[in-house]
Amino acid sequence: TRSTRPQRLLGAVQKNATRGDPCSVIQAIDHFCRNKEWAMNVGDEKGCILDAVVSEVNPATVLELGTYCGYSTVRIARLLPPDAKLITLEFNPDFAAIARQVIAWAGLEEKVQLVEGASGDWIPRMKEQFGVKTFDLVFLDHWKDRYLPDTKLMEECGILRKGSVLLADNVICPGTPDYLEFVRNSPRYESQYFKSHLEYTKVEDGLEKSVFLG
């Protein structure tokens, strides 16, 4: 049977990237998506903004909602200090299976815990399951209609602390209007928009960085 796009993306990584070299994995995926097949990775342009926020926050604990093929997982994990932990949630088992192999090719398995399942089910269980009290950084890149309910759930479960940073992809395209309205108008968040483009295209998109004020 025909391969899937994530399988072909993994093939491009295994063919063109060097094992244990996260930057070569990132470059191989961006080259594949720009020249062969578009895929919904955060991409190189928004990826540079992601890198800057990760470096600024220098997080000990990171939660990623929406792994897909692991592109942003690799981008984030490569910048983390030795003892830092990144937990990434993916609902789709086929995406998760590819992401595990991409993360392994980059040599970042030690820093990353990939969990399969729905964010709404796992967020309430973060503390007991993974021994994480709070997250210093959360990268939202999953279903766009789950950004707001999951943010409210994270507040309720107490996994955000004063100063926790939420970074949301796709706030313009495909768009997360209810989430944007919430973080931009709530007194409990300090929000900032980073204008960019939808990965590998000229279409406008951007990242919204929101600091939880407690």
Ligand X SMILES: O=C(CSCCNC(=O)c1cc(-c2ccc(F)cc2)cc(O)c1O)c1ccc(O)c(O)c1
The catalytic residues are 141, 144, 169-170, 199
Considering only residues 44, 64, 141, 150, which one is a binding residue for ligand X as defined by CB under 6 A? 141
Q: 10 Å Cβ neighbour count for 60?
A: 15
Query: Would you count residue 122 as binding ligand X (CB under 6 A)?
Result: no
State the binding string over 32-71 for ligand X (x if CB under 6 A, else -).
Answer: --------x-------------------------x-x---
Query: Would you count residue 22 as binding ligand X (CB under 6 A)?
Result: no
Cα 132 from Cα 117, distance rounded (Å):
18
Nearer to ligand X, 68 or 135 (CB): 68
Assess contact for 161 and 214: CB atoms under 8 A: yes
Q: 10 Å Cβ neighbour count for 146?
A: 19
Task: Find which of ligand X, Mg ion, none residue 26 binds, CB within 5 to 8 Å per kind.
Answer: none
CB of 73 to Mg ion, least distance (A): 12
Query: Would you count residue 142 as binding ligand X (CB under 6 A)?
Result: yes
Q: Stretches 10-18, 69-77, 135-143, 160-168: which one binds ligand X (CB under 6 A)?
A: 135-143
Cα 168 from Cα 115, distance rounded (Å):
19
Cα 92 from Cα 62, distance rounded (Å):
20
Cα 158 from Cα 136, distance rounded (Å):
12
Task: Find which of Mg ion, ligand X, none residue 7 binds, CB within 5 to 8 Å per kind.
Answer: none
SS (H, E, C) 47-90: HHHHHHHHHHHCCCEEEEECCCCCHHHHHHHCCCCCCCEEEEEE
Considering only residues 29, 33, 61, 91, which one is a binding residue for ligand X as defined by CB under 6 A? 91
Query: Would you count residue 174 as binding ligand X (CB under 6 A)?
Result: yes
Cα 129 from Cα 116, distance rounded (Å):
13
Work out whether strand 204-212 and strand 160-168 pair parallel, antiparallel, or are unpaired: antiparallel
Query: Would you count residue 170 as binding ligand X (CB under 6 A)?
Result: yes
Q: Which two tokens stand for residue 203?
A: 């279409």
* Angle, CA 90 vertex, CA 85 and CA 96 arms, to 5°: 95
Nearer to ligand X, 143 or 188 (CB): 143
Considering only residues 84, 97, 157, 173, which one is a binding residue for ligand X as defined by CB under 6 A? 173
Residues that bind ligand X (CB under 6 A): 40, 66, 68, 91-92, 141-143, 169-170, 173-174, 198-199
